[in-house]
A and B are shown apart, each in its own frame.
Chain A
Amino acid sequence: MVSLTGEPAGTAGARGGGRTRSAGWPAAVPLLAFTALAFGIPAVALLLGAFTVRDPRTRAPAFSTANLTESLQGNYLETLVSSVQLSAVVALLGAVAGTFLAQAVVTSRFRALRESVLTASGVLANFGGVPLAFTWVATLGNSGVVTRALGLDGYGWSLYTFWGLALVYMYFSIPLMVLVMVPAMDGLKPQWREAAGNSGATAWQYWRHVGVPVLAPSLLGGTVLLFGGAFAAYATARAMVGSTVPLVTLQIADALTGDVLVGHENIALALSLDMIVVAGLVMAVYLPLQRRSSRWLR
């Protein structure tokens, strides 16, 4: 890009001298204006609403942090914690499973295996939402095929629990982890391993001092990504468990559709704000890590 700065004089000049530096601005305006409108206004509304309490009788709005305080107490806090726990479990188990699967694929000599696992991962990582829930309900739900074939209900199995949900969320989390880890593992050069081996390192020492440190940013970044995905998921949980597992997304939806006390309407907004703070923290961890891992993958 830098080397080209001399060239545009021709075109820019033809267009009229003074506008050289800012020639592109107008073309970006529609996008920025649109985002300000469609994303900015709801964001501001959310922020204002989260700090507003309406008087139950007069409906006069007043500034207050009562919503936020309430959203971090009792039942509401429980849903938030439960969501964070579920996301953490999914992220950790998904990251471990995805990493092993990625390693199995990367070290395989069979190109077809590698290509088909990667393609399948690309599809399954996007396979969330409602269809995912029903696929699992048909498999391990109360009258699911596998449940009945193995008589699992006799052992007290239920898909509509915390661990059932974790099992289902893993279905899109593991493929996502594979997609993150395969490029990183391809970046592990065989020469490093040979060099370590020639210097007398055991396999454990190689992984401890070379492999894992190089993969660390991708590992952490992937884990964080899985956390974010599980944390934000709503459709799967709604279609599958209804409200039997307390989750903050389900709680927000209930509060939004009117399942709250008069005067507490804005609790949904406060809970949303809590969620954004958690998701924001997660992304704040992810972005620098992604930049770091891309350094090794050139």
Chain B
Amino acid sequence: MAAVTPILPGETAPAGPADGPGPPAGRSRRVRPWRVVVLGAAAVYFLVPMGASFWFTVHNEEQGFSLSTYAEILTAEGFAASMLLSLALAAATIAVVLVLTLPALLAVRLGAPRLRPVLEVVCTLPLVVPPITFVTGISTVLRWGPDYLAATPFWATLIAIQDETFPVVLVLAYVVLALPFAYRSLDAGLRAIDVRTLVEAARNLGASWPHVVLRVIVPNLRSALASASFLTLALVLGEYTVAALLGYQTFPVWIVTVSGSNGRLSVAVSILSLLLTWLLLLALSGAGAKRKKDPS
């Protein structure tokens, strides 16, 4: 994910891979047939499902061409509720993950470099552990409730974090899953600025620590913070495993539920969510490009 190459706005045709790779390669002075074959096969493999699934949503044997499926989405039962839940979870996750990682990373850079390996391991582990095993662990803990904790104050806490309207337990899980991405984005951002000089200058001028972080560090890290937030947003909006197995109706869980009764609708929503990911990641690489242009 961190490998998404920043694109400078002027350089890229916005059409994505759609601009046919075949003809230009053919015109090249040294024609390499294998390259035409590879690029052609890739274009077919990657573009056909997109085109076919779009056709699936707009073409109907009785009515012919119609965009009514897309109009249905907004009024579909459960769409608004599940989308709002996912967005609320995403907002909470982004806030928590940034509040946790930024101070820790600053600490590692400024005062406690020996903590770096610890932090690196902690922020890589969620990548090693498959989400399904993580949710197995979580549900085991939640089932401890009736067995061991019924008489203790923890019992009330366990009930509270499983509240249907806003399941805090999902925020806890998503923060863990988002840690690797937030860590890498922020670490790359901090590497690009001279944190120590900024902090020392601000401290020598009498700024308090909260002031240093909020008025000096954060503005300098805008693009890194934005990319961490975008990646987290994309992760939470697309996460199915944890929510489904803990029994919450988030947006991806809703898509699966609705597919049972209305296949066309679920495909339409899938296409839209692909478009959303495109937009998020394009915005992300746009932010990266801006950072590159800043004179540093």
Contact = CB atoms under 8 A, between A and B. Distances in A.
Nearest to A38: B172
B277 A45 contact: no
B140 A46 contact: yes
A116 B15 contact: yes
Contacts of A18: none
B239 to A, nearest CB: 8
A231 B131 CA distance: 11
A135 B270 contact: yes
A71 B260 CA distance: 32
A272 B138 CA distance: 12
A234 B204 contact: no
B194 to A, nearest CB: 10
B12 A119 contact: yes
Given A46-B136, A115-B12, A11 B199 contact: yes
Interface stretch (B17-25, B72-80, B82-90): B17-25
Contact of A119 (B5, B34, B245): B5
A121 to B, nearest CB: 9
B53 A238 contact: no
A146 B267 contact: no
B81 interface: no
B286 to A, nearest CB: 11
Interface string B19-46: 1010011001000101100110010011
B61 to A, nearest CB: 10
B214 interface: no
Nearest to A131: B270
A236 to B, nearest CB: 9
B95 interface: no
Find the residue from A8, A14, A139, A257 having the highest chain B CB count within 10 A: A139
Given A39-B126, A130-B255, A268-B136, 12 more contacts: A11-B200, A25-B107, A28-B119, A34-B175, A104-B38, A119-B285, A123-B281, A128-B238, A134-B269, A138-B267, A256-B139, A279-B130
10 contacts: A7-B196, A10-B204, A21-B112, A46-B137, A120-B46, A129-B239, A138-B56, A139-B48, A171-B46, A183-B3
